A and B are shown apart, each in its own frame.
Chain A
Amino acid sequence: MKTLAVLEQRDGKLRKVSFEIVTAARRLGDSVDPVVCDTTDREGCAAALAEKAKAGGYNAVVFAATATGRDLAPRVAAKLGVGVASDLTDLAAESDAIVATRPVYAGKALQKVRVTARPAVLSLRPNIFTPETQAAGVKPETLAVTSSGRVKVREIKPAPAGTLDVAEAQVIISGGRGLKEPANFKVLEELAQAFGGRAAVGASRAVVDAGWRAHADQVGQTGKTVSPSLYIAVGISGAIQHLAGMRTSKVIVAINKDKDAPIFKVADYGVVGDLFEIVPKLTEEIRKLHG
């Protein structure tokens, strides 16, 4: 099977998710052509990608299910006259189809789908496919974008320096109502800093709705879906909508004063008690490890 892998870069460097895409695309066959669009013009980029997919006789076009990929994939798919098998967490090639898995109903069920479209357009959930080391050497072709779209990027406002997006962080420390007031998120920020640039601070819906934290930090059904290596839920009871956004994390730690909180049911490790005593102690221990 011949696959076109649409990679993402920022500041001229491939993003981690790009290596995941290349790795996953290889499951469909050895012939994987990596490309990047060197423009923020998504209409132009979609046109160029659809052209390339048709001209190159590709069987599959693979995107990341990121803010960019989710915007781009359906445009390309519609140009090719097919839908997107989106947000996949597993995929494999069969003789006449691609079979893939996608979480549905807030992660409470997995849908197995058979994709017979040619080319098949797929988007893969970030932080699910572990990049192979050989993916690190990937040299994508930069696609020539000739047509220009009607939507113009006026500006990109970068997030404040030093903050990592929860969707990209390897470690996430999320806080909920148990933090009591917005200023107390400082204890979580200190713990995040102790991880030395690998961690981001997330939030439950309750504290985002209360205006304590930005929506960009919200983990859950109406926020971001994340799969970090380590997710630490602090003062979060674990409503189903929150679990929908983080249950595929590799390791989950819960810190909560209520030993019956539902978050302990999905947590690998739980500590019951006062987060204002536990978190600073944890910060101290992590600093020792990294110091």
Chain B
Amino acid sequence: MKIAVCIKRVPDSETRVKISSDGKSLDEAGVKFVLNPYDEFAVEEALRRKEKAGSGEVVVYSLGPAAAQETIRTALAMGADRGVLLQVDKIPADPYETAKLIAAALKPETWNLIFFGRMAIDDYHHQVGPEVAQLLDLPCVTAVSHLDIEGTKGVAEREIEGGIEVLEFPLPAVVTVDKGLNEPRYPALKGIMAAKKKPLEVKPVEPGAGSLEIVALTPPPERKEGKIVGEGAAAVGELVRLLREEAKVL
């Protein structure tokens, strides 16, 4: 079972967002970066698939700055076999440019499965996985919360509004994963030590200009100051009155 996992280095969600002086990007000073949480599920799933198959290789790909090597090492410490960093100065604003570079890197090899997290928690794009699938002409299932693989056939479940969709698809395929698929392992000390010696190839790449430009990054509008209506059940009457007469939502 040969599996690729595509991961992203993202700011930790606890990060205090400070906008940099260009008015368009995050000021990265003091920001802690982590492996995108959805990609942790992807790495875990890839490792489990390889373990179940009894043999194979899990290769981690990331497009990002030089510092994304650390993110790849995290995945290697979890148990992935080797990593490839598609190194850029800046992650392209247009996710399709990212998808093209990742697809080009994956294309020369033959994969049974290619995993992605369903989205990155920094830019919320939800799209690089299915775009890579399209570029490689592979079947794709997105936001998968349950997965069974038997031979060259997969069965996946995904949440849709009002239910769960059960899908069948042939391998090779691109699968983007949702929370709930598995419980990602913590890298053990042994894994962390081993990861330092695992191969990590750095390939500089040049993204195209794309057709999506970031014009500005601004703080969200402040919600207007709220009020404490009161304490305990005695405040409910006033709360209902405010919801009816002031907020007009009842």
Please tell me which stretch of B79-87, B119-127, B196-204 contacts chain A, meaning at least 4 of its Cβ atoms lie within 8 angstroms of it.
Answer: B119-127
Tell me whether B236 and A271 are in contact (CB under 8 A): yes
Taking a contact as CB atoms under 8 Å apart, the answer to whether A78 and B131 are in contact is yes
Asked if A84 and B121 make an inter-chain contact with CB atoms under 8 angstroms apart, the answer reads: no
For the complex, what is the distance from the CA of A222 to the CA of B127, rounded to whole Å?
Answer: 16
**Chain B residue nearest in CB terms to A272:** B231
For B133-165 the 0/1 string (1 means CB < 8 A from A) is: 111000111110100000000010011111111
Complex contact A152–B168 (CB within 8 A): yes
- Nearest residue in A to B227 (C-beta to C-beta)? A269
Nearest residue (CB) in B for A224 is B159
Interface string of A142-155 (1 = CB under 8 A from B): 00000001111111
Looking at the assembled complex, report how far the CB atom of A215 sits from the nearest CB atom of chain B, in whole angstroms. Answer: 4
Q: Does any Cβ of B come within 8 Å of A136's Cβ? A: no
A-B contacts at CB below 8 angstroms, number: 265
Cβ < 8 Å to B, chain A residues 234-291: 240-241, 244, 247, 250-253, 259, 264-274, 277-278, 280-282, 285-286, 289
Given contacts A215-B145, A241-B13, contact A67 B158 (CB under 8 A): yes
Q: In the assembly, what is the distance between CA of A117 and CA of B93, in Å?
A: 13
Which residue of chain A is the closest to B160 with respect to CB atoms?
A67
Which interface residue of A78, A221, A240, A251 has the most chain B CB atoms within 10 A? A78
What is the total number of residues of chain A having a CB less than 8 Å from a CB of chain B? 92
Q: How far is the CA of A252 from the CA of B122 in the complex (A)?
A: 24
Say yes or no for A114: interface residue by CB 8 A criterion.
yes
Please provide the chain A residues from 66 to 121 with a CB less than 8 Å away from any CB of chain B in the complex. Answer: 66-68, 70-71, 73-75, 77-79, 81-87, 99, 102-117, 120
Residue contact B141 to A151, C-beta cutoff 8 Å? yes
Number of interface residues of B (CB under 8 A): 85
Q: Which residue of A lies closest to B97 (CB)?
A: A83
The answer to whether B250 and A289 touch across the interface, beta carbons within 8 angstroms, is yes
Asked if A270 and B212 make an inter-chain contact with CB atoms under 8 angstroms apart, the answer reads no
B167 and A108 form a contact (CB under 8 A): no
* Bound-complex Cα distance A259 to B162 (A): 35
A273-B232 in contact given A70-B143, A109-B217 (Cβ < 8 Å): yes
Q: Are B179 and A271 in contact (CB under 8 A)?
A: no
Q: Which of A23-31, A157-165, A174-182 contacts B (4 or more CB under 8 A)?
A: A157-165
Q: Are B247 and A83 in contact (CB under 8 A)?
A: no
**CB neighbours of B231 from chain A (8 A):** 271-273
Q: Contacts A250-B249, A269-B227 hold; do A278 and B232 have CB atoms under 8 A apart?
A: yes
Q: Are B235 and A273 in contact (CB under 8 A)?
A: yes
Specify which chain B residues have a CB less than 8 angstroms from the CB of A267 in the assembled complex: 226
User: Looking at the complex, which one of B164, B210, B215 makes contact with A156 (CB distance below 8 Å)?
Assistant: B164
**Which listed residue (A78, A167, A171, A277) contacts B233, Cβ 8 A?**
A277
B215, A75: Cβ atoms under 8 Å? no
Q: Which of B17, B26, B124, B139 has the most CB of A within 10 A?
A: B124
Q: What are the residues of chain B within 8 A of A253 when measuring CB–CB?
A: 239, 243
Q: Are A149 and B124 in contact (CB under 8 A)?
A: no
Partner of A222 from B19, B38, B218 at Cβ < 8 Å: B38
Partner of B167, one of A83, A103, A152: A152
User: In the complex, what's the smallest C-beta–C-beta distance from B181 to chain A, in angstroms?
Assistant: 10
A241-B13, A271-B235 known; A113+B140 contact, CB < 8 A: no
- Are A106 and B95 neighbours in the complex by a CB distance under 8 Å? no
One of A83, A154, A218, A268 near B131 (C-beta < 8 A): A83
Option from B26, B124, B211 in Cβ contact (under 8 Å) with A83: B211
CB atoms of B125 and A113 under 8 A apart: no
A-B contact pairs, 10 of them (CB 8 A): A10-B162, A74-B134, A109-B219, A114-B215, A150-B169, A167-B161, A168-B161, A222-B38, A244-B13, A252-B226
Given contact pairs A70-B127, A264-B226, enumerate 13 new A-B contacts (beta carbons under 8 Å).
A74-B127, A78-B130, A78-B135, A83-B94, A84-B127, A106-B121, A151-B169, A156-B164, A215-B179, A222-B38, A253-B243, A266-B226, A268-B226
Task: List the 3 shortest-distance A-B pairs measured between CB atoms, nearest first.
Answer: A83-B96, A78-B134, A117-B211
